């Protein structure tokens, strides 16, 4: 059995190899390799997004509902480390102004509005930016600032979460507005030397224990992992697709050529003579 199959198989293999080494299929092979490399890196990128969100959720599990720690133990003038994000902190001090800065185009509760940030001077003399909450945008447009509760004027103790500053959007806005919670831009807007992160407010109380009026609280942080892991596996499983298509394409070409040769041979062969039966001869 093996002796009969061997030569046929070897001939078929050689035919596939010769066809593969043509310019057309070598070009397709190069494109397939490039596509596989692209799929690999796209899968790596998607999996990196998945790991980032998984690590974020781990930080939330460890920090979000933990007992608050002094802000000074978490935040300095240097950028807030990734490992300290969402650390629950507490601080005592006073707001340096009763006029908040409005951060535009911030989603909350299914709507878009403003987040209100204000500089807060600690007992140590350092100043940290505090995000006190959210107000809905005015129906007259984003250039019309809605009314919002002013920061308290007396000394308060606040509890919130430490977060890093955001990237600048490079937009020039009217005085009293920011496009993002970018700390250098906020420092220029407030005239204060700010710490390397900001605090998202949970609550603030005066010395008497009264809760100060505040804007609408912000939504809890997003904890969804998204489809990134599934997308990563899809990209990686797609890597060999180009090579598989090349294999089937070469086989299809060889099969069609074999069928054409067989068809031409049948057309050129002479017709078989008609068989004369005995009784036909007797009738003749």
- Average pLDDT of the chain to the nearest whole number: 88
pLDDT attached to residue 29: 94
User: Pairing between strand 156-163 and 177-178?
Assistant: unpaired
**52-109: per-residue pLDDT in tens?**
999 999 989 989 999 999 999 999 999 999 889 999 999 999 999 888 999 999 999 8
Q: Please report, rounded to a whole number, the percentage of residues in the chain having pLDDT higher than 70.
A: 87
**Per residue in 33-58, pLDDT tens?**
999 999 999 999 999 999 999 999 99
The full set of domain ranges for the chain reads: 10-64+223-256, 67-220
SS3 labels along the chain: CHHHHHHHHHHHHHHHHHHHCCHHHHHHHHHHHHHHHHHHHHHHHHHHHHHHHHHHHHHHHHHCCCCCEEHHHCCCCCCCCHHHCCEEEEEEEEECCCCCEEEEEEEECCEEEEEEEEEEEECCCCEEEEEEEEEECCCCCCCCCCCCCCCCCCCEEEEEEEECCCCCCCCCCCCCEECCCCHHHHHHHHCCCEEEEEEEEEEEEECCCCECCCCECCCCCCCCCCCHHHHHHHHHHHCCHHHHHHHHHHHHHHHHHHHHHHHHHHHHCCCCCCCCCHHHHHHC
Average pLDDT of the residues in 225-252: 94
Please give the residue that has the higher pLDDT: either 235 or 4: 235
Interval 123-148: pLDDT, tens: 999 999 999 999 998 877 767 888 88
Question: In DSSP terms, which residues pair with 177 in a beta bridge?
Answer: 102
**What is this structure's pTM?**
0.73
pLDDT value for 202: 95
pLDDT of 27 higher than 60: yes
Taking the C-alpha atoms of residue 32 and residue 39, their distance in angstroms, rounded to an integer, is: 10
């Amino acid at each position: 059995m093996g002796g009969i199959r061997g030569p046929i198989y070897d001939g078929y293999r050689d035919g596939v190899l010769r066809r593969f080494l043509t310019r057309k299929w070598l070009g397709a092979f190069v494109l397939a390799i490039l596509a596989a490399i692209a799929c690999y890196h796209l899968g790596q990128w998607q999996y990196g997004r998945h790991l980032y969100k998984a690590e974020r959720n781990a930080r939330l599990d460890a920090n979000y509902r933990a007992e608050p720690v002094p802000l000074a133990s978490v935040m300095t003038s240097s950028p807030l480390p990734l490992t300290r994000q969402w650390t629950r902190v507490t601080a005592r001090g006073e707001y340096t102004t009763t006029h908040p800065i409005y951060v535009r185009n911030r989603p909350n509760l299914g709507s878009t509005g403003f987040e209100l940030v204000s500089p807060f001077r600690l007992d140590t003399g350092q100043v940290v930016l505090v995000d006190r909450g959210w107000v809905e945008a005015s129906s007259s447009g984003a250039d019309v600032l809605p009314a919002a509760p002013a920061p308290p004027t007396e000394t308060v103790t606040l509890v919130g979460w430490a977060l890093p500053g955001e990237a600048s959007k490079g937009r020039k806005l009217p005085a009293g507005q920011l496009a993002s919670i970018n700390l250098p831009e906020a420092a220029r807007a407030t005239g204060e030397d700010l710490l390397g992160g900001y605090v998202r407010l949970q609550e603030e109380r005066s010395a008497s224990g009264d809760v100060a009026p505040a804007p609408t609280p912000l939504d809890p942080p997003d904890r969804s992992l998204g489809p990134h892991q599934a997308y990563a596996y899809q990209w990686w499983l797609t890597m060999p697709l180009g090579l598989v298509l090349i294999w089937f394409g070469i086989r299809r070409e060889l099969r069609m050529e074999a069928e054409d040769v067989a068809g031409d041979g049948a057309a050129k062969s002479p017709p078989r003579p008609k068989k004369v039966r005995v009784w036909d001869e007797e009738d003749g």
